[in-house]
Structures are given as C-alpha cells and as structure tokens.
Amino acid sequence: MTVDSFDACANELISFVRATKRLAHVPVVDGPLLERPAFMLLIGATEHGPVRPSTLAEVLYLDLSTVSRQLAALETSGWIARDRDPDDRRAFLVRITDEGRQVLGVNLAARRAVLKDLLTDWSEDERMEFARLLGLLNKTLEQRSGIPVFPTPAVRQETT
C-alpha cells in the first residue's frame, strides 16, 4: 500500500508532536523548569502584556480557570505581576516581570540547546529548509485560524 503525500505529512507531524513533548522536560541548569502551561503563559504575557487573563486564555486556547490557576502560581513565583486595568478598575492586567523574563529566557535557551543537539548533524541547508517549511506551515495555520502561532518573532528576539 502506498502512502500519499498528505498521509506522509500527517504521519510525520503526529510523530513530531509526540517527540517534541519531550522538549518540555529538558534539563534547565540555570533556573527552574517551566511546565508547558507556565511556559506558554509567560510567552503570551511577553507578547501581549500587559494583558487580561481572558485574552491569554483565548489566544492560547486554554480554559480561563486553567489560566487563572496558572497565573496565580506564576505570581507567587514572582514571574508575573497583576495590575489594575486603567480602563476598567474591576479587571486586572498581567505582565511578565524581569525575573519571569529571565526564567523564560533560561527555559528557551535549554530547549534551543536540545534542538541544536538534535540538528547538529544536519547541514546548514537542511536546517534552513526545515525552518522554511515549518515557517510555511505556521503561516498557513495562522492564515486559516486568524490567530498567531507562538512564539512569535518578537518573543524569539526579545528573549535571546
């Protein structure tokens, strides 16, 4: 039985998603390891902050109760801060703190180090082609959903 290109892509994407879940458990030497929800919330707060928790829940496709619980833990750790929304004093905005930026940067660096190790045997051309094709997939996902794929270039540059 032959596999068509769509099946081949689907199979490889499923394998890729499963394998990349391991990146969430990379060793972090210079700071605490962020679990995936905290990692994504810090990226969201970096990209969108100051931002309402409901906006983070929406752009990250998470339930507001999950976001609220995770934000409380991030605030306790000192990695985000809550401020009253100047436009609606009943609401709060969250923003990443300097310590949160540092923790996020260390976690991004650890994940990059794992990826660098994985791709070290690839040629520069192969790595650039891989990046180009992933970028094309992300662009298509953004166009179809209307929601940016995280992390965006601003977060990549800001935390390097």
Domain extent at residue 30: 25-158
* Residue 150, domain CATH: 1.10.10.10
Distance CA 45, CA 40 (A): 9
In a domain, 9, yes or no: no
Residue 47 domain-assigned (yes or no): yes
Do the domain assignments include residue 4? no
Q: Measure the CA–CA gap between 83 and 96, rounded to whole angstroms.
A: 11
pLDDT at 21: 76
- pTM of the model as a whole: 0.77
Residue 3: predicted pLDDT: 77
Please answer whether residues 101 and 159 qualify as being in contact, where contact means their C-beta atoms are separated by less than 8 angstroms: yes
Taking CA atoms, 52 is separated from 48, 78, 84, 94, 140, in Å, by: 9, 18, 10, 6, 27
The number of distinct structural domains making up the chain is 1
Structural domain contains residue 76 = yes
Angle at 141 between CA 136 and CA 147, to 5 degrees: 125
Residue 98 lies in a domain: yes
In a domain, 55, yes or no: yes
pLDDT score of 159? 40
Query: Is residue 77 a part of any domain in this protein?
Result: yes
Could you give the CA distance from residue 60 to residue 146 in angstroms, rounded to a whole number? 13
pLDDT along the chain (160 residues), means of 10: 86 88 76 89 92 91 92 97 92 96 94 90 96 91 77 46
In a domain, 6, yes or no: no
